[in-house]
Amino acid sequence: MHNISHQTPPPPPCISNVTATTTASKDNTKTTLYIILATALFSLLFILSLPSTTTSSRALLTNKPDPDLFPNRPISQNETPSAPTPPSIAYFITGSAGDSARLLRLLFAAYHPRNHYLLHLDLSATQTERDRLAVTIQTVPVFRAAQNVDVIGKADYAYPRGPSSISSTLHGASILLRLASNWDWFISLKACDYPLATQDDLLHILSYLPKDINFVNHTSYIGWKESKRLKPIIVDTGFYLLEKEEIFYATQKRELPNAFRLFTGSSFKMLTRHFVDFCILGTDNLPRTLLMYFANMPYSFSNYFPTILCNSDRFKNTVINHDLQYVAFNKTFSKKPPHMKPEEFDAMVQSGAAFATQFQFNSPVLDRIDQEILKRSPGGVVPGGWCLGEGNDTCSVWGDADILRPGPGARRLEKRIVELLSDDGYQSKQCLDES
Model confidence pLDDT, tens digit, residues 260-305 = 999 988 889 999 999 999 999 878 899 999 999 999 898 889 999 9
CA distance 187 to 339: 21
- Do residues 21 and 249 make contact, with C-beta atoms less than 8 angstroms apart? yes
Tell me which residue of 323, 409, 347, 401 sits closest to 70, measured CA to CA.
401
Residue burial 130-153, b: 16+ Cβ < 10 Å; e: rest: beebbeebbebebbbbbbbbbbbb
- Do residues 232 and 249 make contact, with C-beta atoms less than 8 angstroms apart? yes
Tell me: the pLDDT tens digits for 366-381? 999 999 999 999 999 9
Which residues, 6+ apart, have CB-to-CB distance to 2 below 8 Å? 54, 55, 57, 58, 61, 147, 150, 151, 179
Sheet of 185-190, strand order: 53-54, 2-8, 149-155, 116-121, 89-95, 185-190, 269-272, 214-216, 319-320
Confidence of residue 427 (pLDDT cuts 50, 70, 90): low
For residue 424, how many other CB atoms are within 10 A of its CB? 9
Compute CA distances 269 → 6, 272, 317, whole Å: 24, 10, 16
For the segment 226-230, the average pLDDT, to the nearest whole number, is 81
Q: Please provide the size of the chain in residues.
A: 435
CA distance 215 to 354: 11
CA distance 61 to 50: 24
CA distance 285 to 289: 6
Residue 350: pLDDT over 70:
yes
> In 3-state terms, what secondary structure has residue 189?
strand
Confidence of residue 335 (pLDDT cuts 50, 70, 90): low
Predicted local distance difference test score (pLDDT) of residue 1: 58
Predicted local distance difference test score (pLDDT) of residue 245: 75
Predicted local distance difference test score (pLDDT) of residue 73: 61
Helices (H) and strands (E) in the chain, counts: 14, 15
Q: Which of 84-88, 93-97, 282-286 has the lowest mean pLDDT?
A: 282-286
For the segment 205-222, the average pLDDT, to the nearest whole number, is 92
